[in-house]
């Protein structure tokens, strides 16, 4: 068996630097995409194709700038070009043009304005820890982060109610529930379900707005609580902890699981959604890359394998039930209170 970087004896295959160059130039593709989104390139093509003169006029860019951005997006498969006309490709039309439905522009804004600067000093962050944790951002920056995370996780949030049957659940406790997107999506699918979203004060205020806007204020309460320090609300038969575990060390996560267990009765369900990996921490690939994102923003953040979480559960009062896929690199660990 050959390993990565080896070639069979007698093979005529030529080893090139192409894989390295493709990876090393990846920042160029990312920044092209971020800039095109921020400059409104995709919205400018939402209603009709355009040539460079029309595209420049719609975006307020010079013809040269419009050409550089549009041609890069064509080369990367985001825009399409026929003759002199540019149009949004299917992905851009569905997720970047400002149409109703899933909108990934907040995610690109988050990655461009918050994540990318942190990755500039990534080697330093790995060696000595991040200069600034995500918790230390100002209120405006935190709003960008929150909106970006909500956009990134819209798919898994909407999939939760399909992957898990909440028919027998009555009250859902959403710990670290962000803007409430997971609870909102699930409550819409299960009209009988009521719940409580627990978040820090700044994000809790956003969650209240989202819940009210969704017309669910009578079924979903929002409580400003520090899940790592304060007592959690009781009286719930199902607990969701979505994308919170990757913020913390194993010891802190074990403590969190104990705190959650103390708030529920035996038989309660626990749903842990995150970038759970295989035992090697290399699959899914995006999860392995997200470990770097967490290291760039968090002093203890990391991705964890399903087996690691399974080992934490018994001492915290939980029994592992199963592991299920959600969407993309996100998956779900199910457990039950003992």
CATH class held by domain 18-95: mainly alpha
**pLDDT tens figures, 136-188:** 999 899 999 999 999 999 999 999 999 999 999 999 999 999 999 999 999 99
Distance of CA 212 to the CA centre of its chain: 23
Average pLDDT for 41-58: 98
Please give the pLDDT value at position 216: 98
The whole-number pLDDT of residue 9 equals 52
**Which amino acids are annotated catalytic?**
246
Torsion, CA 234, CA 235, CA 240, CA 245, rounded to 10: 20
Token reading at 56? 């420049």
| CA–CA dist 308, 294 (Å, integer) | 18
Instruction: Please say if the pLDDT value at position 8 is more than 70.
Output: no
| Average pLDDT rounded to a whole number, residues 289-311 | 97
Residue 13: pLDDT band by 50, 70, 90 thresholds? confident
Cross-strand pairs, 314? none
Determine the pLDDT at residue 100. 74
Q: Where are the alpha helices (DSSP H) in the chain?
A: 18-24, 26-38, 41-44, 52-59, 63-75, 90-95, 105-110, 116-120, 122-128, 139-152, 154-163, 181-189, 201-213, 250-262, 285-297, 306-312
Please give the Cα distance from 110 to 37 (Å, whole number). Answer: 12
Mean of the pLDDT values across residues 126-137?
Answer: 93
* Residues above pLDDT 90, as percent of the chain: 93
Distance CA 39, CA 132 (A): 28
Mean pLDDT in the chain? 95
Helical axes 139-152 vs 201-213, angle rounded to 10°: 50
Structure tokens at 100: 């109703």
Q: What angle do CA 185, 153, 291 make, to 5 degrees?
A: 150
Could you state, in order of their start, the residue ranges of all structural domains in the chain? 18-95, 139-337
pLDDT score, position 1: 41
Largest alpha-carbon pair distance within the chain?
72
CATH of the domain spanning 139-337, picked from 3.40.50.300, 3.40.190.10, 1.10.510.10, 3.40.50.150: 3.40.50.150
Q: What is the pLDDT of residue 262?
A: 97
For 238-257, write each residue's pLDDT tens digit.
999 999 999 999 999 999 99
From residue 338, alpha-carbon distances to 170, 213, 256, 262, 270 in Å are 19, 37, 16, 11, 11
pLDDT at 101: 74
Q: Calculate mean pLDDT across residues 219-235.
A: 95
Mean pLDDT of 245-270: 97
pTM for this predicted structure? 0.91
Residue 4: predicted pLDDT: 45
Q: What percentage of the chain exceeds 70 in pLDDT?
A: 96
pLDDT of 134 reads 92
Whole-number Å distance between alpha carbons of 310 and 315: 10
At residue 5, the pLDDT reads 45
């Amino acid at each position: 068996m050959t390993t990565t970087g080896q070639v069979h004896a007698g093979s005529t295959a030529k080893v090139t630097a192409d894989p390295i160059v493709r990876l090393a130039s990846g920042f160029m593709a990312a920044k092209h995409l971020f800039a095109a989104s921020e400059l409104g390139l995709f919205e400018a093509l939402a209603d009709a194709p355009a040539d460079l003169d029309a595209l420049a006029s719609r975006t307020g860019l010079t013809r040269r700038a419009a050409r550089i951005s549009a041609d890069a997006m064509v080369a990367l498969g985001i825009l399409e070009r026929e003759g002199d006309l540019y149009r949004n490709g299917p992905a851009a039309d569905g997720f970047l043009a400002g149409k109703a439905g899933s909108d990934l522009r907040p995610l690109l804004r988050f990655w461009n304005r918050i994540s990318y600067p942190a990755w500039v000093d990534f080697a330093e962050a790995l060696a000595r820890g991040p200069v600034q944790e995500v918790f230390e951002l100002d209120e405006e920056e935190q709003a960008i982060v929150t909106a970006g995370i909500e956009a990134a996780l819209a798919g898994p949030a909407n999939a939760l109610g399909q992957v898990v049957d909440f028919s027998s659940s009555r009250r859902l406790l959403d710990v670290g529930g962000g803007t409430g997107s997971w609870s909102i999506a699930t409550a819409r699918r299960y009209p009988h379900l009521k719940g409580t979203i627990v978040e820090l004060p700044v994000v809790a205020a956003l969650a209240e707005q989202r819940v009210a806007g969704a017309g669910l204020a009578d079924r979903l309460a929002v409580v400003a609580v520090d899940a790592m320090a304060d007592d959690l609300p009781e009286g719930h038969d199902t607990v969701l902890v979505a994308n919170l575990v990757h913020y913390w060390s194993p010891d802190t996560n074990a403590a969190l699981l104990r705190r959650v267990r103390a708030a529920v009765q035996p038989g309660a369900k626990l749903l842990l959604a995150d970038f759970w990996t295989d035992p090697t921490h290399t699959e899914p690939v995006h999860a392995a890359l997200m470990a770097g994102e967490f290291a760039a923003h968090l002093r203890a953040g990391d991705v964890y394998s399903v087996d690691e979480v399974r080992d934490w559960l018994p001492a915290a009062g939980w029994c592992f039930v199963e592991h299920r896929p959600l969407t993309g690199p996100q998956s779900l660990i199910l457990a039950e209170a003992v």
